[in-house]
Structure 1
């Protein structure tokens, strides 16, 4: 009955539009009151201890690094590199925007941050070039989902902590799936542009222009190299890499590019603090929620129930996929990872999935949630930039959802895509 109280109160609060973190905390409180077997200070203690973690410290650092680099002139230089490569092709501006999102995602680790940084620059520019505003807004929102697929993805850090998996290995595992999603989105953008007659900039490819853009963006392009290179050379952990990214972002923005002003730091710190506070509150509340589920043996019961439905591994992984896609529509990604990883990982391991590969399946599923209503955060950020209504944008983004879904199924059934760079079988 404690489990019933926990889940019923949670879903009622969600239906009442209570913020996800508050809904998790209040439903956990109701369950504790009903059970009467644990003191109420269990709630406060677990919320504090859940975020008192060295790996979790990477989250606020990467959020701050993304804010600094978004304001420090890095995004427009990344676009200049992408535009110099594909700008002359059909749909070149659209493809360059996707590549820029790819590059910025490898800096920010956040989907909404990628949409805000790239969308604010590219949506008006693409509309001025003659692109349809609905398509442009949907494209940026979808490409922004790369922020959680590519390292240094914040959801990867949360999954690593929850599953007891290596965050560094997850970072490496996300590289090929992220590139695959990028190529898929670019292919769709090319087909759409071909059908609509969106031409490139008319300038032939020039090694001189590409070299100049690459040289100007060198400090921005060094960020993912420093982060991943530092981790895998043993110089620092993922958390220390996040702190290094903050310092490097300040140096690049203030000294090297000279576009980040001291007066900008207050807004950057304020935005980072607000984002960090909301994420850490959700992590704390979701951890208590998950702990109560573990005490009530809910994960093992769900795993046994799912395995009793069918022994067909393909059917089971499809059931898990559908469940995660539905969850992604209604729940914050951080909370979903903390709650559903303990529930689904035992099933995945029973089916023979490597925890790192299974983590990529979870993250790709939930990345789609960033562009699906009613919770799709990327949609709201992109809508705020362009002025396109959420209803209209939700329709325009459907083809992009289909493209990412196709990539998801490839990742599910070809584990080498996630594990190749790790040297796993």
Structure 2
């Protein structure tokens, strides 16, 4: 058998068997890539090249932004910032039907945009909002579904670690991707709010709150939340103006969160070791995935797999609509059992040359990929936000899933709009001169 074909077969079989056996995804990718490299390079050379690729994959200055943003998110999660953002969201949604559920959605959008992590948002906002919603008579399953469905908005609203990973693979501008994700992220929030509104319409009077906030109280609440929200302005504004890079902005975010938490007196000096350990664990997982995925990308490139797959797909159809639909289906399926980071590292090098053949902008494609995979984090069997949200609500997964279907439908509609109306993604970075 041709060495390239044998390498492809080893990769495919190794990944399928590894995932089916519940082996950690980093081990599956790394081991499969190493074994696939053997028929191409020989055992000794495969071992040497694999080690070199792991090191070169994580030896990246832009990639340093991820552990720093992770650390900033952990500090915020422990620093009392979630409660202030929830109170600010309550001011915005206080007079809406099902106002507490709407507050949950808006708070997830705010906290997600500050932390850039869907899991952190689901845990922090769910912990604050769950008891409040239960106290006002909300079904706990619906409350958990609202929290779970709205948490991934932070994967699209800048700053986003997922876009940094995509930028690393595709060579796209991080600033352009950040701005391209803003409108789709807001569209995600709006889709969830519409579902909550329709849910409230079927229960008139039951999901309203008698709590009203005066103008003075609203101004006080918004003033207390302003320092937290300013971090977005500082980080994103600095990147857009070219005052500092994404990595430098991440380090500024860490310092800003530490100062803010010290002012709020919500973190003690003795809490810092555990915060660093938590951030280190998350960072280690991400960096290991990036390292082993670099080996996989090298093997695939060496065996010319992307070109073969691209030629096969382009031979099936000459319609960009069909191509995008096929990729949506594949990415939605992948997202149900694979985290966004390894999915981007594995599949973007395969799909990106195909979409570029049809003239699709890599920034628009990046938003499409991230939004597809964001649905995966709330979908069984491996949706980590689904599991975290259910655990925070102290519920099993099965009853929560039954309340998530309406959100899935609304978010799929939003996804179709983003995929087939490129201006949802491209008008803002184009207006700002980040792309032509």
TM-score tier after normalising by the smaller chain length: over 0.9
* Cα offsets for 1:266-323 (capped at 9, x unmatched): 2211111101001110111111111111111111111111111111211111001000
Deviation at 1:180, TM superposition (A): 1.0
Secondary structure of 1:95's partner? helix
Q: 2:125 corresponds to which residue? A: 118
Identify the residue that residue 43 of structure 1 maps to in structure 2: 50
Alignment pair present for 1:15 and 2:23: no
Quick check: 1:157 aligned with 2:160?
A: no
* Match 1:131 to one of 118, 138, 145: 138
Gaps of 5+ in 2: 1-5
Is 1:200 aligned with 2:205? no
| CA shift digits 1:73-93 (9 cap, x unpaired) | 111111111111212321101
How many residues end up aligned between the 2 structures?
A: 424
Per-residue displacement from partner, 1:223-277 (whole Å, max 9, x unpaired)? 100111111122210111111000000000012x111222222221111110100
Task: Give the 5 Å matches for 1:31-70.
Answer: 31-37=36-42, 38-70=45-77
Q: Does 1:372 align with 2:373?
A: no
- Aligned residue for 1:145, secondary structure, equals helix
Query: Among residues 11, 17, 35, which one is paired with 1:6 in the alignment?
Result: 11
Aligned-partner SS, 1:330: coil
Unaligned stretches of 5+ residues in structure 1:
none
Secondary structure of 1:146 counterpart: helix
TM-score w.r.t. the length of structure 2 is 0.95
Match of 2:418 among 392, 411, 417: 411
Is the aligned partner of 1:236 residue 2:241? no
Is the 8 Å Cα contact of residues 141 and 371 (structure 1) preserved in structure 2?
yes
8 A Cα contact 2:98 2:209, kept in partner: no
1:303–1:343 Cα contact (<8 Å) kept: yes
Instruction: Give the counterpart of 1:225 among 222, 225, 233.
Output: 233
Q: C-alpha distance in 1, partners of 2:147/2:389?
A: 7
Does the CA contact (< 8 Å) of 1:89 and 1:199 recur in 2?
no
Shift of 1:205: 5.4
The answer to whether the aligner puts 1:79 opposite 2:86 as a matched pair is yes
CA deviation after TM superposition for structure 1 residue 347, in Å: 1.2
Give me the whole-angstrom Cα distance separating, in 2, the residues matched to 1:128 and 1:349.
Answer: 52
Which deviates further from its counterpart, 316-325 or 384-393? 384-393
RMSD: 1.3
CA contact (8 A) 1:88 1:205 kept: no
SS in 2 for 1:18: coil
Q: Contact between 1:149 and 1:178, CA under 8 Å: does it hold in 2?
A: yes
Partner-residue secondary structure (3-state), 1:371: coil
Q: Paired residue for 1:293, among 276, 292, 300?
A: 300
**SS of structure 1 residue aligned to 2:272:** helix
1:347 is the counterpart of 2:354:
yes
Whole-angstrom distance in 1 between the partners of 2:105 and 2:88:
12
Q: Partner of 2:3 in structure 1?
A: none
Question: Matched residues in 1 for 2:69 and 2:148: separation?
Answer: 20
Paired residue secondary structure (2:194): helix
Question: Does the alignment pair 1:188 with 2:195?
Answer: yes
Equivalence for 1:337: 344
Partner Cα separation in structure 2 for residue 206 and residue 296 of structure 1? 66
Q: Deviations over 1:189-208 (max 9, x none)?
A: 11112213443322445332
Shift of residue 45, structure 1, vs aligned partner: 1.2
Residues 203 and 390 (structure 1), Cα distance of their counterparts in 2 relative to 1, 3 Å cut:
closer
Between the aligned partners of 1:315 and 1:107, the Cα distance in structure 2 is 36
After superposing the two structures, state which structure 1 stretch, 56-65 or 296-305, moved more.
296-305
Distance 1:312 1:201 in 2: 50
Q: Per-residue deviation at 1:350?
A: 1.4
Aligned partner of 2:103 in structure 1 is 96
- Render the CA deviation track for 1:52-80: whole Å, top value 9, x for unaligned: 10111000000100110111111111111
Normalised TM-score (structure 1): 0.97
Q: For 1:307-346, list aligned pairs within 5 A.
A: 307-346=314-353
- Report the Cα distance in structure 2 between the residues aligned to 1:97 and 1:225, rounded to whole angstroms: 22
Q: Distance in 1 between matches of 2:116 and 2:84?
A: 18
Q: Which moved more, 1:156-165 or 1:278-287?
A: 278-287
Deviations 1:86-139 (A, max 9, x none): 123211011111111111111111111111111111112211211111111111
